Amino acid sequence: MFFDSHTHLNDPCFDEDREAVIEKIKAAQVSGMLNIGCCHASSVDCIAMAETYDWVWAAIGTHPDTADEVDEALIEVYRGLCSHPRVKAIGEIGLDYHYETIPREIQKRAFRLQMELAKELNMPVVIHEREAHGDAMEILYDFPTVTGVFHCYSGSLEMAKELVRRGWSIGFTGVVTFKNARKAVEVASWVPLDRMLIETDCPFMAPEPHRGKRNDPSYVPLVAQRIAELRGLTAEQVAAATTQNAHALFRLDE
């Protein structure tokens, strides 16, 4: 059984055929997923979905692309949402300097406020970090008791080693199946099996041979298959380890 640790199944692009997609997910032996909020509104949607399906859990938080919505009042709202029994992580939060539609200082402030909440509530976080490695690490160093997963990991092997040493897990998407995925492949070949998560990040990042199309959690076995090839394991071994890791990191059984 596979666990997809990063999905956006509440995305409007699934409104037309979500029930059909859910049937497809079950047929693909995907037994659980963590559905991730990107802003206040989508976080509320994630909780509603986690209330509907007993194999879906929610993470709530604000992505760097909408960091300008984060203020003390929203943190207060998030503090309340975190007491919901189906909310298992704060995320996705972090920094994204690729487009920089939101100024860096605003992104950093939103990231810090949400890390502070994770620290206070002792909850794991889901990190989105793109082209902001140095600044992201600097903020992590200020919160040594907070850990979680770096999702769709895009950093160096050195940085992955530092994260693992500090107790973090690393999440891999369909990027590991892409022909030009040199860095992600290098890191996926190294990360200790008990610190690895697999994810689709659907509807984005569809693995080969579906690259460029709408992604959904039924494709997460393709990520496991590729990692298994890289490490000389079976897809079942990768599936079992990453499912167990997700349950442990997000305390799904508590």
Check residue 82 and report its DSSP letter: T
Look at phi and psi of residue 205 and say left if phi exceeds 0, alpha if psi is from -120 to 50, else beta: left
- One symbol per residue from 153 to 192: x for binding Ni ion (CB under 5 A), - otherwise; what is it? ----------------------------------------
And the tokens for 73?
Answer: 């009042």
**Nearer Cβ to Ni ion, position 129 or 201?**
201
Pair of tokens at residue 22? 């859910």
Query: Measured from the CB of residue 8, what is the shortest distance to Ni ion in angstroms?
Result: 6
- Shortest CB 205 distance to Ni ion, Å: 9
Q: Closer CB to Ni ion, residue 96 or residue 201?
A: 201
To Ni ion, the closest distance from the beta carbon of 38 in angstroms equals: 7
Phi and psi at residue 92, in whole multiples of 5°?
-95, 135
- Shortest separation between residue 229's beta carbon and Ni ion, angstroms: 25
Whole-angstrom CA distances from 198 to 57, 65, 75, 110, 170 are 15, 23, 29, 26, 9
Q: How many residues sit close enough to Ni ion to count as binding (CB under 5 A)?
A: 1
In the complex, minimum distance from the CB of residue 7 to Ni ion, in angstroms, rounded to a whole number: 8
- Which residue's Cβ has the minimum distance to Ni ion? 201
DSSP string, 32-72: EEEEE-SSHHHHHHHHHHHHH-TTEEEEE---GGGGGG--H
Could you tell me how many residues make up the chain? 254
Nearer to Ni ion, 70 or 234 (CB): 70
Burial of 183 (0-12, 13-18, 19+ CB in 10 A): middle
Nearest distance from C-beta of residue 137 to Ni ion, angstroms: 20
90 contacts 125 by C-beta, under 8 angstroms = yes
Strand-pair partners of 227: none
Q: Which of residues 6-65 bind Ni ion (CB under 5 A)?
A: none
Cβ 134 to Ni ion shortest distance, Å: 22
192 to 221, contacts with Ni ion by CB under 5 A? 201
Q: Which is nearer to Ni ion, 72 or 174 (CB)?
A: 174
Name the residue nearer to Ni ion (CB basis): 22 or 38.
38
| Closer Cβ to Ni ion, 18 or 130, answer by number | 130
Decide whether 201 or 216 has the Cβ nearer to Ni ion. Answer: 201
Residues lying near Ni ion in the complex (CB under 5 A): 201
